[in-house]
């Protein structure tokens, strides 16, 4: 599968901006923010790896979208957005109320935090040393390699890294599909 050109351009622009203006935060005006946040969310929602991971996670599609809106707007908005403004950025149900947006966001954050505590508990109890979890640890390591290679490609743009990204993506997708409960 081909890399999302929008994500590549956005990430490169962000890297260039942070390189040229290292002391300034990269902020967008509200008019640009809505379009960029929605494009990024569409890219994430169309990513096959993200979809497999989402399907097997403790988050719903709506919770993930809401969480991403909250994180992206906090990182890139020129001025802090109200929850009403954030709610209008949703793609799935853009006419949602502020209260519904906040409830969904709280559920998403709670699910993420509980998942993190589950991972910490299993690590503390030594469960990760069990061979039945080995495929998931291998997938995690492959994902880490994939993300590092992807970031390196965005910075340097080498063709061999793009080819490696494609190979890693296919391998990760296959591993994820095979390991589904």
Give residue 124's region: left, alpha or beta (phi > 0; psi -120 to 50). Answer: alpha
Q: Are residues 117 and 145 in the same domain?
A: no
Check residue 23 and give its pLDDT: 47
Question: Total domain count for the chain?
Answer: 2
Cα–Cα distance, 34 to 80 (Å, whole number): 13
Residue 3 tokens read as 């890399």
Asked whether residue 76 falls in the same domain as residue 24, the answer is yes
pLDDT of residue 28: 59
Alpha helices in 21-158, H assignment, sequence order: 30-45, 48-55, 61-76, 83-87, 98-124, 134-156
Asked if residue 138 and residue 116 are part of one domain, the reply reads no
Specify whether 143 is located in the same domain as 118: no
Q: Per-residue confidence of the chain (181 residues) as pLDDT tens digits? A: 344 444 454 554 444 444 444 444 455 566 678 888 888 899 888 999 999 999 999 999 999 999 999 998 888 777 788 888 899 888 887 778 999 999 999 999 999 999 999 999 988 998 888 778 888 889 999 999 888 888 888 788 777 778 888 888 899 999 988 887 7
pLDDT value of position 35: 82
Residue 46's Cβ-count burial label (10 Å; 0-12, 13-18, 19+) is: exposed
pTM: 0.74
Last residue of a domain, one of 111, 129, 147: 129
124 and 169 co-located in one domain? no
Q: Is 57 found in the same domain as 20?
A: yes
Residues 93 and 142 grouped into a single domain: no
Q: Are residues 119 and 136 in the same domain?
A: no
The last residue of one of the domains, among 94, 114, 129, is 129
98 plus 48 within the same structural domain: yes
Domain boundary among 113, 129, 145: 129
Range of the domain at 91: 1-129
| Residues 44 and 89 both lie in one domain | yes
Same domain, 85 and 42: yes
């Amino acid at each position: 599968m081909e890399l999302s050109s929008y994500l590549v351009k956005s990430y490169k622009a962000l890297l260039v901006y942070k390189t040229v203006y290292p002391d300034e935060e990269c902020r967008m005006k509200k008019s640009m923010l809505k379009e960029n946040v929605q494009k990024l969310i569409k890219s994430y929602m169309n990513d096959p790896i993200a979809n497999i991971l989402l399907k097997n996670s403790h988050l719903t599609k709506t919770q993930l979208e809401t969480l991403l809106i909250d994180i992206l707007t906090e990182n890139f908005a020129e001025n802090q957005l109200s929850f009403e403004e954030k709610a209008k950025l949703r793609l799935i149900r853009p006419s949602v109320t502020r209260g519904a947006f906040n409830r969904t966001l709280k559920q998403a954050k709670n699910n993420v935090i509980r998942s993190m505590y589950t991972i910490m508990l299993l690590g503390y109890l030594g469960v990760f040393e069990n061979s039945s979890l080995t495929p998931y640890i291998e997938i995690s390591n492959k994902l880490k390699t994939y993300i590092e290679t992807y970031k390196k490609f965005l910075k340097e743009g080498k063709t061999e890294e793009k080819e490696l990204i494609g190979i890693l993506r296919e391998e990760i997708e296959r591993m994820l599909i095979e390991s589904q409960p």
